[in-house]
């Protein structure tokens, strides 16, 4: 379904390699926030990024959203190297980001929030009928539990607000949707509603990047888990093949895995080359 008259992204088939980060780093003054980050996202896949506070999750999200430019490394989108210098660049590529604060207008209804900044017009006036029609179509496709698209956002529950924020991100037909802590501060029923919505995104063939602290939510909905620790990769696991204990151990640094062994091997190799040159 075409939700805008001029979609900016190409359609992806399930399994297509959409997004790839290689050696991405970011430094803020003397603080090295990210070092040699690698990340792959495929169509129809939910990739969870987990890590303790200060692991670099927010910085990585902001790089993909165009808030912060990376200091090094490469970003590929649909196989092409790209530069994401601004939020507009990110949106133009087909990356939609739903931040934790949602950025919704409480005094406006669902339709107005969905189309804010992208309003449809007809004869120089807002086409309220068409926007409402498309809003209902989109929300039904997502199996969203919204009583009315004319309900003010202030009257909705936390889960319903999250649904509206995610639905709004789909108006531009992105290839990748990034969700920053979508179940934070939600109750059990509302969390289940949001997790079901993430399932719908996967079924639409989107690549979903899920930032979360909740390992149970990650195991319920993600296909892969990428662990960040102190600004570096510290694990990349398939959810079906890994236990919550292993994920937690990677988060806390209490485990040895392929990523940490490779990093240690690189360090050892560099030391050998340095000593040989001396």
Examine residue 278 and state whether it is found in any structural domain, yes or no. Answer: no
Note the pLDDT of residue 262. Answer: 66
Q: How far apart are CA 37 and CA 138, in angstroms?
A: 34
Residue 162's domain spans which residues?
16-267
CATH number at residue 77: 3.40.50.300
Note the pLDDT of residue 4. Answer: 35
Note the pLDDT of residue 15. Answer: 73
Examine residue 3 and state whether it is found in any structural domain, yes or no. Answer: no
Distances (CA, A) of 170 to 181, 230, 251: 18, 32, 31
Note the pLDDT of residue 172. Answer: 85
Helices (H) and strands (E) in the chain, counts: 9, 12
Examine residue 208 and state whether it is found in any structural domain, yes or no. Answer: yes
Q: How many domains does the chain have?
A: 1
Examine residue 274 and state whether it is found in any structural domain, yes or no. Answer: no
Element at 236 (helix H, strand E): strand 232-238
Examine residue 1 and state whether it is found in any structural domain, yes or no. Answer: no
Alpha helices in the chain (DSSP H): 57-65, 87-93, 110-114, 128-141, 158-169, 188-203, 215-221, 244-252, 258-277
Question: In Å, how far from its chain's centre is CA 71?
Answer: 21
Q: How far apart are CA 138 and CA 140, in angstroms?
A: 5
Strand partners, 238: 224
104-127 pLDDT, tens digit per residue, is 999 999 999 999 989 999 888 999
Distances (CA, A) of 160 to 137, 153, 166, 167, 204: 16, 9, 10, 10, 20
Q: What angle do CA 51, 261, 215 make, to 5 degrees?
A: 25
Examine residue 150 and state whether it is found in any structural domain, yes or no. Answer: yes
Distances (CA, A) of 94 to 6, 66, 141, 206: 12, 12, 20, 10
Examine residue 8 and state whether it is found in any structural domain, yes or no. Answer: no
Rg of the Cα trace of the chain?
20
Strands ordered across the beta sheet of 80-82 = 31-42, 17-28, 72-77, 80-82
Note the pLDDT of residue 55. Answer: 95
Note the pLDDT of residue 259. Answer: 59
- Which residues 6+ apart lie within 8 Å of 28 measured at CB? none
Q: What is the pLDDT along the chain (278 residues), one digit of tens a residue?
A: 333 333 344 556 777 899 999 999 999 999 999 999 999 999 999 999 999 999 999 999 999 999 999 999 999 999 999 999 999 999 999 999 999 888 899 999 999 999 998 999 988 899 999 999 999 999 998 888 899 999 999 999 989 999 999 999 999 899 999 999 999 888 898 899 999 999 999 999 999 999 999 999 999 999 999 999 999 999 999 999 999 999 999 999 876 656 556 666 666 666 565 555 65
The CB density around residue 254, as the number of other CB atoms within 10 Å, is 9
Sign for the pseudo-dihedral over CA of 52, 41, 10, 201: negative
Examine residue 256 and state whether it is found in any structural domain, yes or no. Answer: yes
First to last CA, the chain: 63
């Amino acid at each position: 379904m075409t939700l805008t008259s001029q979609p900016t992204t190409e359609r992806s088939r399930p399994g297509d390699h959409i997004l790839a980060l290689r050696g991405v780093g970011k430094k803020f003054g003397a603080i090295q926030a990210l070092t040699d980050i690698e990340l792959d996202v495929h169509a129809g896949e939910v990739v969870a990024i987990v890590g303790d506070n200060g692991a670099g999750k927010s910085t990585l999200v902001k790089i993909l959203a165009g808030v912060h430019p990376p200091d090094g490394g490469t970003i590929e989108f649909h196989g092409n190297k790209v530069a994401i210098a601004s939020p507009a660049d990110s949106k133009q590529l087909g990356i939609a980001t739903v931040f934790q604060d949602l950025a919704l207008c409480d005094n406006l209804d669902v339709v107005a929030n969905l189309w804010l900044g992208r309003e449809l017009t007809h004869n120089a006036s807002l086409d309220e009928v068409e926007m409402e029609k498309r809003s209902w179509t989109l929300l039904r496709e997502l199996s969203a539990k919204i009583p009315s698209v004319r309900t003010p956002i202030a009257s909705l529950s936390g889960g319903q607000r999250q649904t509206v924020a995610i639905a709004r991100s789909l108006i531009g037909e992105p290839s990748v949707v990034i969700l920053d802590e979508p179940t934070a501060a939600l109750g059990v029923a509302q969390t289940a509603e949001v997790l079901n919505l993430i399932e719908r995104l996967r079924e639409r063939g989107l690549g979903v990047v899920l930032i979360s602290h909740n390992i149970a939510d990650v195991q319920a909905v993600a296909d892969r888990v990428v662990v960040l620790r102190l600004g570096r990769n510290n694990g990349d696991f398939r959810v079906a093949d890994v236990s919550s204990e292993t994920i937690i151990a990677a988060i806390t640094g209490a485990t040895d895995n392929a990523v940490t062994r490779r990093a240690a091997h690189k360090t050892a190799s560099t030391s050998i080359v340095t000593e040989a040159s001396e």
